[in-house]
Chains A and B, each alone.
Chain A
Amino acid sequence: MSIPTRDGARTTRAVPGARDAVFAQLADAGRAEQVARRLADAIVLGVLAPGERLPNEAELARRFGVALVTAREALGMLREAGLVETRRGRDGGSFVVHPGDADDAMLTARLRGLSQVELGDLAVYVTTIAAGCADRAAERSTPPDDERLRAWVDAADFSTPSAARRNAGGFLLELAVLSQSTRLVREQLRLQAEFGPLLWLGMRDPALRARAAAAADAIARAVAAREATAARTAVSALLSDVAAWLLGAKARIETGGTIDG
């Protein structure tokens, strides 16, 4: 299977749903700070890529559900933080600047801000939904579905953090689609949008990426073999692995280390 891209080089290849979550509406006070923080997180996590043009002020205001002046203020904060630069002219706009060593500091703060119990509970929920999808997919997939899933897995790239994040999330969504359950698909989309960037943080670890690729392969085989228990077990094992990585990174941070060790 060839891998044509449907978007240009400037467009971010983000984790599924992450971009949508970036622009989901906000409700509370301190809105400019919230807008700035959401975008800063996305830039640091690589959801928005260096060089990418952000939506204009009016579009940002619409998508976040804030006033134009608030969107403008947020962009100003990002400029000050050195995360975006604004260019004038016909091809102008606000562009994502490659964040420097500030990345890890921000990610560290983010992981520190979540408790173990919150991370653990998130893992339980994500695993339950995904395992349920795998279970039903194994029961309801047809030979053409199996072939399609196989072709997708064979061509799926887990070689870089961003590709692995996108494809790991995409794989779980594909399992949901095979379950034939609209509710499971919608829930999987919502989960990936809300927690994808955090959940797949461990894809920066090459060993975990390799295990995720192997897991996708094993799950696709179990689905094609109509082995619901094997599919469910493999999905649960993958997500346990991913959760353990997050908890491990948090523990390293708490004891004065870095995310990666």
Chain B
Amino acid sequence: MASTVMDAAVASAADRVSLLFLGLYDTLADWRDAILTEASGAPTPSVLDERVGALVLPPLREPDPLLIGAGFIAAPEFTGSSELHFSWWLGPLDDNPVFGATAAPSRLDLASRSYSDYLRDFASLEWYRIPSTTHRTHITGPYIDHLCACDYIVTVTSPVEAGGRMIGVVGVDVYVKRIEREVLPALLATGRRLALVNKAGRVMVSTDPAVAVGTVLPALADSTPCPGTPFRLVPTAPTAPAAR
């Protein structure tokens, strides 16, 4: 009996996680449609920036924004360029020892991230490569993104396709600390020790003090999927002690 009640609480926590990400998918679908509506011929990068900025700047300007980064990354063919074009904005950054604090959204300036030269090829990075091969929305992370916010984040990217070709990806970045704020109450309400993990078992939020965010838990059978996302809620105690 008690177990059923607790299971319902776990299912409810999983739904809370799903709801958060389904909202992000909706946002991305709106942006994708808007870009496709206006996508006639190859727009110049500045025209593209203007269009994308009009879409993504309002949510980044909200007080206490959910998004810390958003935009459209255009395939080289779409802008007639030899490389990806980043129509990408960062939300206001709190005191950031690397890039400084900003009070308003700022355009990503890759020239100021020249240390990332060692990456060689942005198109090979997960948030671009996976949607381009699967044709589906993909969640990258949690991971430390040193190109943008230089923080622990999750990136959601959706392919934008016209005429059977991907013309780019629309995407959003969300701080892991913000996701924690959104879902931790529901996780704590389960009264259980559990962790929200990604497909690789990487912990994003945990109610178990012994299970740290960023660690990897082994695959477990009795986990609860968060529908529509690659995330799962994994019990960490007493049957599944923390991976150390």
Contact A142 B121 (CB under 8 A): no
* A142 proximity list for chain B (CB < 8 A): 200-202, 216
Q: Given A20-B112, A190-B98, A140–B216 Cβ distance below 8 Å?
A: yes
Q: Given A140-B216, A182-B150, A20–B114 Cβ distance below 8 Å?
A: yes
State whether the Cβ of B119 lies closer than 8 Å to any Cβ in chain A: yes
State A171–B151 Cα separation when bound (angstroms).
18
State whether the Cβ of A19 lies closer than 8 Å to any Cβ in chain B: yes
Contact A170 B143 (CB under 8 A): no
Contact string against B for A residues 144-155, beta-carbon threshold 8 Å, 1 for contact and 0 otherwise: 110010000001
State whether the Cβ of A231 lies closer than 8 Å to any Cβ in chain B: no
CB distance from B111 to the nearest CB of A (A): 8
Residues of chain A in range 33-85 having any CB-CB distance to chain B below 8 Å = none
CB distance from A33 to the nearest CB of B (A): 25
Contact A16 B117 (CB under 8 A): yes
State whether the Cβ of A117 lies closer than 8 Å to any Cβ in chain B: no
Interface centre among A20, A166, A182 (most CB of B within 10 A): A182
CB distance from B210 to the nearest CB of A (A): 15
CB distance from A117 to the nearest CB of B (A): 26
Contact B152 A193 (CB under 8 A): no
State whether the Cβ of B19 lies closer than 8 Å to any Cβ in chain A: no
Count of A interface residues, CB-CB < 8 Å: 43
Contact string against B for A residues 165-197, beta-carbon threshold 8 Å, 1 for contact and 0 otherwise: 011011101101100111001100110110000
State whether the Cβ of A4 lies closer than 8 Å to any Cβ in chain B: yes
* B214 proximity list for chain A (CB < 8 A): 140, 180-181
* A177 proximity list for chain B (CB < 8 A): 143-144, 146
* A148 proximity list for chain B (CB < 8 A): 126
CB distance from A197 to the nearest CB of B (A): 12
CB distance from A64 to the nearest CB of B (A): 14
CB distance from A173 to the nearest CB of B (A): 7
* B116 proximity list for chain A (CB < 8 A): 16, 170
Contact A190 B146 (CB under 8 A): no
Q: Which B residue sits closest to A188, measured CB to CB? A: B146
Q: Which residue from B118, B124, B152 sits with its C-beta under 8 Å from A169?
A: B118
Q: Which A residue sits closest to B114, measured CB to CB? A: A19
Q: What would 16 more interface pairs be, CB under 8 Å, given A173-B146, A190-B98? A: A4-B120, A5-B120, A6-B122, A7-B117, A13-B117, A14-B114, A14-B117, A16-B115, A20-B115, A140-B216, A143-B200, A174-B118, A180-B214, A181-B214, A182-B150, A189-B146
Q: Sort A-B residue pairs by CB-CB distance and give the 4 closest, nearest first.
A: A170-B118, A16-B115, A180-B214, A17-B115
Question: Could you list 14 A-B pairs, sorted by A, with CB under 8 Å?
Answer: A1-B124, A3-B121, A142-B200, A143-B200, A169-B118, A170-B119, A171-B118, A173-B115, A174-B118, A180-B215, A185-B150, A186-B96, A189-B98, A189-B150
**CB within 8 Å of B: which residues of A?**
1-7, 12-20, 139-140, 142-145, 148, 155-156, 166-167, 169-171, 173-174, 176-177, 180-182, 185-186, 189-190, 192-193
